[in-house]
Amino acid sequence: MSYSQTNRFSFDSAKIELLKSKNVENSLQILNEIALQYNESNLDSALHYSYLAQSIAKRISNRSLFADTYYSLGVIFKNKGVVDSANYYLFNSLKIYENLKDIDNVIKLNISIGEYYRSTYNLNKAVQYLKKSITLSQNYNLYGFLPSAYNRLGAVYFELSINNSALDAIYEDTIYKSISYIDSSNYWSSRINTKSYNISNNNILGACYQNLKNYDKANLFLLKALNEAENEKKIIELPMIYRNISLNYMKLKNYKKAEAMALEGAKIADSLGINTSLMFNYYALVLIGENLNDDKMTLNFLRKKDSVEDILNNEKAIIKTKEFEAKFKTKEKELLIERQNSELEKNHQQFILSLIGFLVSFLVVIAILFFTLRIRRINKLLKIKNKEVEFASNEVSKLSRFKDDLTGMIVHDLKNPLNIIINFSKNVIQSENTNLLVIKEKNKNIENAAFNMLNIVNNIIDLQKLEESKIDLVFSENRILKTINRALQNVNLLLTQKNITVNNKVNSGFISVYDNNLIERVLINLLTNAIKFSPNNDTITIDAEIINNFIKVRVSDSGQGIPSDKIPHLFNKFARAEIKNIGFSTSSGLGLAFSKLVIKEHGGEIGVDSECKKGSCFWFTLKSFSVNLIEEIKEKSNENISHEYSKEFSQNIIALKKILAEYKFYETSEILNTLQNFKCTDNEFFDWKNKIENAVMNSNNEKYLELISL
């Protein structure tokens, strides 16, 4: 048979190998291979060889080969339309492969079970197993299964579209999903250099475009599938391709060609013994007869269709009978073996009784040893548990002391501004001086003190939000100097109290894009920290410089400094409470932890340079933007953005979005090839590109449109 020459090895060579083989496991593998080859041309021969393989598998203990045999039987029974047998063998094969952790075969079985559910019209179950096979293939980088999985998923969505034909919107969307999955199958076929699924892919695409009433395009794909099937001798594919071409010609009202195609499909299906395909071709001829108003033709093929349907039902019954007979014979053999074993037991009864006596004595000794060791082990575990309880008790005590320390520090932080508010309020009330400017000045001091309290409270609240990513950052173009000046206004009262001056050396031309409110609070935290640890009548210096396209802002004081071993923990949550005993800190430390999270969200860094008794320099970095660069970005984005920018803004993304907007979401291979050819090392671009690929491969149109929107 010339068809067999296209396979990995011919039937004849396989049979010769089978005759030569003296290894049982090797024979079993060859039988399964022959069965699967016959599955593409002669299902009865396939079943014969698969049963031979099963009879050998029962005599050996190789679970993997036993699962292979079950897989072959499941696929053959599925193709013959014997649902119960297909279900039994496929699911038992999957169970064995899962226990063996054989991922390759687990993926293969998920695809086969998905196809099984498709053939029984349980389409939602089919989608579940096929998508699972795709996920496993991608997770384990086993891309060789993807052409098959996407091909079958496309077939399932085509049939789902037929079920939704009453709802135009759902119907069309489901058909386009089918086209998208078939396109994915073609994409992965080209990636791994295989043509195995070209015939099926073209056949399904033809059926999809036929249902979209694009009959010319449908004919193009169907004739392509027919030509490939004939050239590659894929005889088993021909009946359904002829049937689809027949229906397409019928839609084009070319009834003569439609009839010829259906008759050819029926002829091939009959010669192969594929009664399911024969029935579908007869039904196509029934529809053609109805369109021609040819009652004789309609009645003739309706009878033939019903006759084939009866044969299908009888075949299922016969196969079930054979299975029952096989099970009965197996049970009979098992009973014979049981009788033989019973006689053997009688002949060796005395020996067994002696052996039992010895074993009982041995087990008693073992039991005594076991319980002795168990008691020792329990005593050892009790000692360990007692130590754990003691350790836990100490930890609870430490946490209690930590809570008391932290509470005291937060209260201390709030007490100073609260005293200022009370004192200034009393002065305003008790003062006989009614000068409006004096009152306004004192009110301003009260407002600043209240703001300091609010900043402490906000640090506590927003720290948790930042840790859980629940704060939405509002990015805008800002001058660093302007933000620093606003922060200085808010700590002016603290500066006045200690008679501290600020030497602000920051250049007015430094510009960045950031959340102005949050960066201002970071500066307030650093300035408050510097004021707290600076002696009276001292000077705090603020300066900035550009290093590698980042603006580095520094706040320096000449206070007592920080020991080097404490610096790595300084920005941790509640770090000040943990290291308070070193003698340089009295606050909760929430401000620095809050500042670290804010700067991290902006893509910058924060740190401190310090030595004991030589002061400290706290610093942070932000991305630097020139005025010209910002104007250039505005022009390229083609949007009316005044001063706000998205955190994920990227010139590469905008350029590529315009290209992708020209493609429909189901044009999978074009989209993936475009993404693959677009080279960029930017991390944000790389993340966005992965999201696009996932949306396309999962046929998620909503997500795709959201990601490419300008």
Q: Is the separation of the CB atoms in 225 and 241 below 8 Å?
A: yes
- Tokens 């006759």 belong to which residue? 307
For residue 316, the SS3 value is: helix
Reply yes or no on whether the pLDDT at 128 is more than 60: yes
State phi, psi for 699 to the nearest 5 degrees: 55, 40
Lowest mean pLDDT among 151-155, 164-168, 255-259, 606-610: 164-168
The CATH number given to 8-101 is: 1.25.40.10
SS3 543: strand
Q: Which CATH number describes the domain made up of 473-623?
A: 3.30.565.10
Q: What is the pLDDT at residue 394?
A: 77
| pLDDT(181) > 50 | yes
Q: Are 675 and 668 in contact (CB under 8 A)?
A: no
Nearest to 160 by CA among 216, 114, 223: 114
DSSP state of 167: S
Residue 437, phi-psi category: left (phi > 0), alpha (psi -120 to 50), beta (remainder): alpha
User: In this structure, what token pair is assigned to residue 625?
Assistant: 């933007």
Note the pLDDT of residue 578. 47
Same fold, 8-101 and 473-623: no
Q: What percent of the chain has pLDDT over 90?
A: 28
3-class SS at 611? coil
Round to whole Å and give the CA distance between 155 and 166: 19
Q: Residue 644: helix, strand or coil by DSSP?
A: strand
pLDDT of 243 over the 70 cut: yes
Q: pLDDT, tens digit, for every residue of 288-310? A: 999 999 988 989 998 888 888 77
Q: Which amino acid is at 530?
A: A
Q: 76 falls in which pLDDT band (50, 70, 90)?
A: confident
Q: How confident is the model at residue 6 (pLDDT cuts 50, 70, 90)?
A: very low
Which pLDDT does position 637 carry in this prediction? 44
Mean pLDDT, rounded, of the chain: 78
- For 30, residues 6+ apart whose C-beta sits below 8 A from its C-beta are 14, 17, 18, 21
Q: Coil, strand, or helix at residue 613?
A: coil
> Are the C-beta atoms of 59 and 27 separated by less than 8 Å?
no
In which residue are the tokens 């369109």 written? 291
Of the listed ranges 458-472, 493-507, 590-604, the least confidently predicted one is 458-472
Q: Could you give the angle at the alpha carbon of 135 between the alpha carbons of 129 and 139, nearest 5°? A: 145
Distance CA 250, CA 349 (A): 80
Using a pLDDT cut of 70, give the percent of the chain over it.
72
Query: Ramachandran region of residue 461, left (φ > 0), alpha (ψ -120 to 50) or beta?
Result: alpha
Tokens of 47: 């079943």
Are 246 and 261 contacting, i.e. CB atoms less than 8 angstroms apart?
A: yes
**Those residues with Cβ within 8 angstroms of residue 120's Cβ, 6 or more apart along the chain or in another chain:** 83
pLDDT of res. 648: 41
Domain boundary assignment for the chain: 8-101, 473-623, 647-708
**Separation between Cα atoms, residue 645 and residue 622, nearest integer Å:** 15
Q: In this structure, how many other beta carbons lie within 10 angstroms of the beta carbon of residue 507? A: 13
pLDDT in tens, 33-71: 787 777 766 777 887 888 887 777 777 777 888 888 889
Q: 608 near 526, Cβ under 8 Å? A: no
144 or 573: which carries more pLDDT confidence?
144
* pTM (global) more than 0.85: no
* Distance (Å, whole) CA 494 – CA 136: 62
> 334 pLDDT band (50/70/90 cuts)?
low
CB 195 within 8 A of CB 189: yes
β-pair type (539-547, 550-557): antiparallel
Alpha carbon distance 29, 34 (integer Å): 9
d(CA 245, CA 262): 8
